């Protein structure tokens, strides 16, 4: 859906979009035109298909709360159409450092999350994933690396600039002989999906 920005007095009868109230970021509530219905159906199908294949599925509530100290990357993108969606992708390489040969089976599970910054300064969780590495008894001292990937769609981005944070939260307290769990490399990207295309 696209809009031209010009004064209402110049619109006349040429402007007849049944789903617009002349605000590019708002549609009239209760619009029942076939144009609106087709767009909504297409958008819902896109979201349904993506949610089915999304890795991981969108959680209802965050496993761990947002903390500015855990932000490892951020990105921003402009959604210039208020029916647009934002696709997000992140890859995080993280390491576990073992100080000495492990005397017990050890499982390390950090949580990686993508958040959208809210207009009130808060954060809205878009998706999260808790990954793991299993270190058997006798694992020698050293550094062990894991790569975790996330994909997600923000179904309700703000009309205009959207800012996102990528967080990495290590488990606490760390198990015996584990000296650190750290994110070392990452990529974090965002792209607008115009479902009218």
CA distance 13 to 159: 27
Query: What pLDDT shows up at residue 50?
Result: 52
Query: What pLDDT shows up at residue 156?
Result: 87
Which residues, given as ranges, of the chain have pLDDT below 50? 1-39, 41-42, 52-53
Query: What pLDDT shows up at residue 59?
Result: 59
pLDDT, tens only, 162-196? 999 999 999 999 999 999 999 999 999 999 987 65
Tokens of 173: 């307290």
CA distance 145 to 159: 39
What are the chain's domains? 58-193 (2.60.120)
* Neighbour count for residue 47 (Cβ, 10 Å): 16
Looking at residue 31, what DSSP letter applies?
-
Tokens of 11: 């619109």
- Cβ-in-10-Å burial (0-12, 13-18, 19+) of 140 comes to exposed
CA-to-CA dists, residue 107 to 57, 112, 128, 136, 176, angstroms: 23, 16, 19, 9, 11
Query: What pLDDT shows up at residue 32?
Result: 38
Length of the chain, in residues: 197
């Amino acid at each position: 859906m696209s809009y031209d920005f010009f004064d209402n007095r110049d619109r006349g009868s040429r402007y007849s979009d049944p789903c617009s109230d002349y605000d590019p970021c708002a549609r009239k509530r209760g619009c029942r035109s076939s144009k609106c219905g087709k767009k909504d159906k297409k958008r819902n199908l896109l979201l349904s298909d993506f949610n089915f294949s999304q890795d991981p599925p969108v959680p209802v509530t965050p496993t761990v709360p947002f903390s500015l100290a855990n932000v490892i990357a951020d990105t921003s993108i402009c959604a210039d159409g208020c029916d647009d969606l934002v696709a997000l992708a992140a890859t995080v390489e993280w390491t576990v450092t073992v100080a000495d040969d492990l005397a017990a089976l050890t499982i390390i599970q950090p949580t990686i999350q993508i958040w959208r910054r809210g207009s009130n300064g808060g954060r809205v969780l878009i998706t999260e994933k808790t990954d793991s590495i299993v270190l058997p008894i006798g694992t020698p001292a050293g550094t062990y690396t894991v790569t975790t990937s996330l994909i997600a769609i923000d179904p309700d981005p703000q009309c205009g600039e959207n800012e996102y944070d990528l967080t990495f939260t290590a488990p606490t307290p760390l198990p015996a002989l584990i000296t650190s769990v750290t994110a070392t490399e990452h990529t974090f990207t965002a792209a607008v999906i115009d479902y009218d295309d």
